[in-house]
């Protein structure tokens, strides 16, 4: 297992080489309040609450370490979705119907099962049976100065930066992100919890809560998350795709005039082979 210092160094390097606007996040899921380090911000200890995505904002923009439990979280759907609150699945679905996010109760049932699938379970009921009571919260911290070894690393970024990270994850085609999108609970359930439970990367399009309640998610921001142990795989393979042709950061642009297939060796090879076949 890599040391905390190694995670911190890798997080700092990733922040620098990708020119990220905010810190990569380290997220650690806890089974007991005793696992919360001293000095960590807990909203409930100050007489208030925030959303889980709001905690992510505090960590990645302000550099704070934040602990979140059901007592700290104002977003009850994500409390239930993490198994931190005891609520019958059908009652949870009824609560979501009252939100009006989807057409009717049948749509909400389908959506709940889809969430469970993303988290590695065949149905919402199975998820509740297995996850309930296992964990009581998480600690999130800016990765370059993290106080926890992360279960999940999540990186808010722009389109170019996320492409570089995807390329790194796909370098040997063993860690290909495969994601579905719905615009709700994207960062907390899909971005934070899913990579921890499934050990697979996820692409995140920050949802309604992130955009409205987090207090800092920008219009252009996307996110990508992966199991913490894959951080070193990403760092090993970042900017390797294409070799010398990798556009790097800042993105190197090619002129779109007077170009031929010689722009890449693969283009030239394929064109020569096409020409050979046409001459036969």
Task: Give 107-127 pLDDT, tens digit per residue.
Answer: 888 888 888 898 888 888 888
**Quick one: 268 and 181 in the same domain?**
no
- Domain holding 260, by residue range, is 250-279
Q: What are phi and psi of 175, to 5 degrees?
A: -130, 50
**Quick one: 71 and 157 in the same domain?**
yes
**Quick one: 255 and 199 in the same domain?**
no
Residue 253 confidence (pLDDT) above 70: yes
Task: Give 37-75 pLDDT, tens digit per residue.
Answer: 999 999 999 999 999 999 999 999 999 999 999 999 999
**Quick one: 64 and 173 in the same domain?**
yes
Judge whether 245 lies within some domain: no
Tokens (6 digits) for 175: 């860690």
**Quick one: 162 and 29 in the same domain?**
yes
Task: Report how far apart, in Å, the C-alpha atoms of 64 and of each of 39, 42, 141 are.
Answer: 10, 11, 6
How far, in Å, CA of 258 to CA of 144, rounded? 44
pLDDT at 119: 87
pTM of the full structure: 0.92
Judge whether 43 lies within some domain: yes
Judge whether 13 lies within some domain: yes
Judge whether 206 lies within some domain: yes
**Quick one: 262 and 217 in the same domain?**
no
Tell me which H or E stretch contains 156.
strand 152-157
The number of domains in the chain is: 2
Judge whether 106 lies within some domain: no
Judge whether 24 lies within some domain: yes
**Quick one: 140 and 48 in the same domain?**
yes
Judge whether 210 lies within some domain: yes
Judge whether 143 lies within some domain: yes
**Quick one: 80 and 218 in the same domain?**
yes
**Quick one: 180 and 267 in the same domain?**
no
């Amino acid at each position: 297992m890599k040391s905390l210092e190694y995670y911190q160094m890798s997080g700092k390097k990733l922040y620098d080489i990708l020119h990220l606007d905010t810190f990569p996040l380290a997220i650690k899921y806890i089974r007991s309040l005793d696992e919360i380090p001293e000095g960590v911000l807990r909203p409930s200890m100050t007489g208030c609450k925030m959303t889980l995505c709001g905690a992510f904002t505090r960590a990645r923009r302000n550099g704070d370490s934040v602990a979140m439990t059901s007592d700290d979280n104002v977003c009850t759907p994500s409390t239930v979705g993490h198994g931190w609150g005891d609520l019958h699945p059908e009652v949870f679905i009824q609560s979501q119907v009252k939100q009006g996010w989807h057409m009717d109760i049948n749509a909400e049932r389908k959506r709940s099962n889809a969430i469970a699938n993303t988290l590695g379970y065949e149905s919402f009921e199975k998820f509740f049976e297995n996850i309930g009571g296992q964990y009581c919260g998480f600690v999130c911290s800016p990765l370059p100065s993290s106080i926890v070894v992360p279960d999940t690393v999540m990186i808010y970024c722009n389109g170019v930066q996320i492409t570089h990270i995807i390329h790194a994850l796909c370098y040997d085609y063993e860690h290909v992100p495969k994601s579905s999108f719905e615009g709700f609970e994207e960062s907390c359930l899909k971005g934070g919890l899913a990579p921890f439970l499934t050990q697979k990367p996820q692409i995140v399009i920050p949802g309604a809560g992130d955009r409205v309640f987090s207090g800092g998610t920008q219009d252009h921001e996307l996110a990508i998350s992966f199991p913490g142990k894959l951080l070193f795989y990403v760092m090993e393979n970042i900017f390797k795709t294409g070799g010398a042709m990798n556009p790097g950061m800042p993105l190197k642009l090619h002129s779109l005039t007077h170009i031929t297939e010689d722009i890449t060796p693969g283009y030239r090879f394929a064109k020569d082979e096409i020409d050979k076949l046409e001459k036969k």
